[in-house]
């Protein structure tokens, strides 16, 4: 995305020097606004509240820190749980008291102090070649020698993967996790690089037999959202819903917080409450193929066809402390360096 496009997406008049007007909400987001725009448009149509978005591919924390108390940001929205917690740890959020949010969001997917809230889920799954004779797998089995030279994965330092590796540490401890990660590295069919959809592409090309990726990418490929070529990638794979041997499936989240100096705090809270409504959760599922985080909302039919996802028994809050160790482990093992 070009700098010019980023500016076009942002609310041009948004600045630290001009206070935000009434009945509007200003969102700083690391997720592309186009992915959530249908939901925000629906909210504006229903309430009359204007929602302004500023897309920040990088530097969200630095931007909000630099703006300080005069920041126009009301909501800080991220595509990864770790990034959300980094905002909280940096003191850039404030607690929100909302019975609607408490009732709609499971306890494991929101901060007990009200500093962050999950909005949608992203299961870390396995893509497998369509004709491969396999219908189930565990995360532990990804290190099995039978997959030697048959696995594709993006960089080990990507937040989606460090979160998964941290979850493995939470389940099995650091020593076992390092041995497992060494096995996953040995199983790589090519360097750990690219994105999740590249794993499906490389399965279609015969480079690998399985790949690790997020669930919603499969929905995008199969629906034609990425063009005819990606439909072919989606058709070349089947989805396996892995679990930990002593738990469930690792599910990361997109989420949001109310900014510490939000000029429109009440409107920001009302928007968050809308985002966990059945209406908005349905729009999330339809637009992004993400898993709803509320019990009453249904996933997109494509996602539902993958099978039931039972979130891991270890919460993201328990996984969080292991992220740094997981990242250090990736570097120590030179995980992204391909060794044939």
pLDDT tens, position by position, 180-237: 999 999 999 999 999 999 999 999 999 999 999 999 999 999 999 889 999 999 999 9
Mean pLDDT of 298-314: 92
Same structural domain, 210 and 314: yes
Cβ proximity of 266 and 306 under 8 Å: no
Cβ proximity of 27 and 75 under 8 Å: yes
Same structural domain, 114 and 259: yes
User: What is the distance between the alpha carbons of residues 5 and 226, in angstroms, rounded to a whole number?
Assistant: 19
pLDDT more than 70, % of the chain? 93
Same structural domain, 263 and 234: no
**What is the reported pLDDT for 131?**
96
Same structural domain, 214 and 273: no
284 belongs to an annotated ligand binding site: no
Place of tokens 């149509």: 45
Provide the 3-class DSSP secondary structure of residue 122: strand
Would you tell me the crossing angle of helices 323-332 and 174-186 to the nearest 10 degrees? 40
Inside any domain, residue 110: yes
| Residue 253 structure tokens | 């989240």
pLDDT at 84 > cutoff 70? yes
Confidence grade of residue 134 (pLDDT, cut at 50, 70, 90) = very high
Place of tokens 């007007």: 21
Same structural domain, 255 and 160: no
Same structural domain, 107 and 11: yes
**Domain containing residue 216: CATH number:** 3.40.190.10
127 belongs to an annotated ligand binding site: no
Same structural domain, 133 and 201: yes
Cβ proximity of 167 and 319 under 8 Å: yes
Same structural domain, 243 and 280: no
User: What is the distance between the alpha carbons of residues 74 and 260, in angstroms, rounded to a whole number?
Assistant: 8
Same structural domain, 242 and 138: yes
DSSP 293-320: SSTTPPPPHHHHTT----B-SS-HHHHG
Inside any domain, residue 340: no
pLDDT at 258 > cutoff 60? yes
pLDDT digits (tens, 9 = 90+) for 135-156: 999 999 999 999 999 999 999 9
Inside any domain, residue 304: no
Same structural domain, 322 and 240: yes
**What is the reported pLDDT for 36?**
87
Inside any domain, residue 305: no
User: What is the distance between the alpha carbons of residues 214 and 160, in angstroms, rounded to a whole number?
Assistant: 8
Q: Where are the beta strands (DSSP E) in 63-215?
A: 75-78, 93-94, 117-129, 151-152, 210-214
Domain range for 94 = 3-121+251-299
How many structural domains is the chain composed of?
2
Q: In what helix (H) or strand (E) does residue 320 lie, and over which residues does it extend?
A: none
Same structural domain, 81 and 154: no
Confidence grade of residue 316 (pLDDT, cut at 50, 70, 90) = confident
Same structural domain, 29 and 74: yes
Mean pLDDT of 254-280: 96
């Amino acid at each position: 995305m070009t700098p010019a496009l980023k500016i076009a997406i942002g609310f041009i008049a948004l600045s630290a020097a001009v206070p935000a007007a009434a009945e509007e909400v200003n969102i700083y987001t690391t997720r592309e606004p186009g992915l959530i725009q249908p939901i925000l448009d629906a909210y504006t149509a229903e309430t009359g509240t204007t929602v302004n978005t500023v897309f920040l591919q990088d530097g969200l924390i630095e931007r909000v820190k630099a703006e300080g108390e005069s920041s126009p940001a009301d909501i800080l929205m991220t595509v990864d749980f770790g990034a959300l917690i980094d905002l909280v740890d940096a003191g850039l959020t404030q607690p929100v008291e909302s019975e609607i949010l408490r009732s709609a969001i499971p306890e494991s997917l929101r901060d007990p102090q009200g500093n962050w809230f999950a909005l949608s889920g992203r299961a870390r799954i396995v893509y497998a070649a369509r004709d491969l004779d396999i219908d189930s797998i565990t995360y532990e089995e990804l290190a099995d020698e039978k997959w030697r030279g048959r696995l594709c994965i993006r960089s080990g330092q990507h937040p989606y993967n460090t979160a998964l590796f941290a979850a493995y540490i939470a389940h099995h401890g650091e020593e076992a996790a390092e041995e497992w990660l060494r096995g996953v590295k040995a199983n790589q069919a090519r360097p750990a690089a690219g994105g999740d959809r590249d794993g499906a592409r490389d399965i279609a090309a015969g480079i690998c037999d399985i790949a690790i990726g997020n669930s919603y990418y499969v929905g995008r490929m199969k629906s034609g959202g990425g063009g005819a070529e990606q439909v072919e990638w989606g058709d070349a794979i089947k989805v396996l819903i892995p679990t930990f041997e002593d738990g469930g499936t690792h599910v990361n989240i997109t989420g949001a917080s109310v900014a510490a100096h939000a000029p429109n705090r009440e409107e920001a809270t009302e928007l968050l409450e809308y985002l966990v409504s059945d209406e908005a959760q349905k729009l999330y599922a339809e637009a992004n193929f993400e898993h709803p985080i509320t019990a009453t909302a249904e996933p997109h039919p494509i996602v539902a066809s993958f099978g039931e996802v039972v979130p891991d028994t270890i919460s993201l809050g328990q996984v969080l402390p292991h992220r740094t160790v997981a990242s250090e482990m990736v570097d120590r093992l030179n995980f992204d360096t391909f060794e044939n």
